[in-house]
Amino acid sequence: MFSLSAKQASQRVEIWRRLRRYGALALKNSGYILPNSANNEERFQWLAREVRRNKGQATIVQAQAFDGLPATELTRRFADERSKEYAALLKELQRGGKKIRLSRSKVGRLRKRFEEIVHRDFFGSPLRSKVEALLVRADEGEQPPEPRPVKRRTQFVGRTWVTRPRPGIDRAASAWLIRRFIDPDAVFVFAENPNEYRDAVPFDMFSQEGFSHRGEDCTMETLIKEFGLDDTKVHAISQGVHDADLGDEKFDRKEALGLDRVLTGWAQQGIADDELLRRGIEMFEGLYQVL
């Protein structure tokens, strides 16, 4: 609950906007509620500090229950608010009828809005899966992808994989993908020339063999297509890696930008290649788990 003087109109509007971004419900007594979690409590603490800094009053309450407003009704209200937002996205995605014709930048903006809604969809609106399915269709475009011969994973188990020294975002992500989905016993080595390890599988190297950038795809995207990996979280990560590695904002995804900066910082500290890769693999496993 908070109050600001009439002179603080702009500050009040900013607080309301942030409450809306957080997904807070407004109560009739001018209070706002969020499900009780550490993240939401921290958000309210920051808002309260901002209100007090502008000479207003703010109170944070942890409530067990509301008289006349059962938990089932609160849950329904939260879900209804998110459903309204998902419905607006559905309307934009369905404007072209069954054949979705949206520009890449438009799809990127809609996906960004979708992800913002997901972060405040505390109780799982039933419309979420419908929007997600249409976004996948919009990403793929009208034409089905040409069939690709899928590599047999059994041929790549227990192998040594070689890449260039000082692994960055694409190589770290590719190494994580290889070890998690393709070759759990993969051994990674580093060389400027793949011929130094003739029996090794090159990745993200200037080589006619192995796996590297192809067309507009980064190495991680190439591996996903070559091995026919079908995991929505993996595809989301690969889009973030693409944007961080190539800087073309193709997918308008920001998840991997911070990881890229961290890897660059570690490399500048002189950390050994194998340790850089190990840390990068752990970071991507963490990102995969939290998605």
Give long-range contacts, CB 8 A cutoff, 24+ apart: 214-221: 216/250, 217/242, 218/170, 218/242, 218/245, 218/246, 219/170, 219/171, 219/174, 220/170, 220/173, 220/174, 220/177
Tell me, yes or no, whether 136 lies in a domain: yes
Return the pLDDT at 227.
93
Q: Are residues 187 and 284 in the same domain?
A: yes
Verify that 19 and 101 share a domain, yes or no: no
> Do 174 and 267 share a domain, yes or no?
yes
* Whole-number pLDDT of residue 30: 67
Round to whole Å and give the CA distance between 110 and 131. 10
284 pLDDT exceeds 90?
Answer: yes
Are 158 and 286 found together in one domain?
Answer: yes
pLDDT value at residue 192: 83
14-57 confidence digits (pLDDT tens): 888 999 999 999 987 669 999 998 889 988 999 999 999 888 99
Give the range among 6-20, 92-106, 170-184, 270-284 with minimum mean pLDDT: 92-106
Cβ 86 vs Cβ 127: under 8 Å:
yes
DSSP states of the chain as a string? Answer: -EE--GGGHHHHHHHHHHHHHHTPEEPTTS-EE----HHHHHHHHHHHHHHHHTT-EE-----S-BTTB-HHHHHHHHHHHHHHHHHHHHHHHTTTTTS----HHHHHHHHHHHHHHHHT-TT--TTHHHHHHHHHHHHH-SSPPPP-PPPPGGGGTT-EEEE-SS--HHHHHHHHHIIIII-TT-EEEE-SSGGGGTTSEEBSSS-SSSB--BTTB-HHHHHHHHTT---HHHHHHHHHHHHHHH---SS---TTHHHHHHHHHHHHTT--HHHHHHHHHHHHHHHHHH-
Range of the domain at 212: 153-290
For the chain, how many structural domains are there in total?
A: 3
What SS3 string covers 7-18?
HHHHHHHHHHHH
Q: Which residue has the higher pLDDT, 91 or 29?
A: 91
Residue 30 domain-assigned (yes or no)? yes
Query: Do 83 and 112 belong to one domain?
Result: yes
Judge if 49 and 168 occupy the same domain: no
222 pLDDT higher than 90? yes
Which of the four pLDDT bands, split at 50, 70 and 90, describes residue 147? Answer: low
> Based on the domain organization, do 205 and 245 belong to the same domain?
yes
Look at residue 67 and tell me if it is in a domain: no
On whether both 158 and 136 belong to a single domain, the answer is: no
Q: Which of 117, 140, 163 is the last residue of a domain?
A: 140
d(CA 242, CA 9): 42
CA-angle at 111, arms to 135 and 27, nearest 5°: 115
Average pLDDT over residues 127-152: 69
pLDDT at 278: 96
**Cα separations (Å) of 277 from 20, 146, 164, 212?**
40, 33, 11, 17
Instruction: Out of 140, 165, 184, pick the residue that ends a domain.
Output: 140
User: What pLDDT is attached to residue 87?
Assistant: 92
pLDDT category at 144 given cuts 50, 70, 90 is: very low
Residue 131 pLDDT: 85
Select the more confidently predicted residue: 68 or 138. Answer: 68
Q: Are residues 132 and 158 in the same domain?
A: no
Domain shared by 79 and 52, yes or no: no
Pairwise pLDDT comparison (169 vs 150), residue with the higher score:
169
Residue 143 has pLDDT above 70, yes or no: no
| Cβ 134 vs Cβ 107: under 8 Å | no
Q: Is 256 exposed, middle or buried (0-12, 13-18, 19+ CB in 10 A)?
A: buried
Under a CB-based contact definition with an 8 Å cutoff, are residues 125 and 82 in contact?
Answer: yes
Residue 177 has pLDDT above 70, yes or no: yes
Mean pLDDT of the chain: 86
Q: 174 and 286: one domain?
A: yes
pLDDT at residue 251 above 90? no
Most confident region among 39-43, 65-69, 98-102, 184-188 by mean pLDDT: 184-188
Domain closes at, from 112, 140, 168: 140
- pLDDT exceeds cutoff 70 at 283: yes
Are 192 and 274 in a shared domain? yes
Indicate if the pLDDT at residue 142 is higher than 50: no
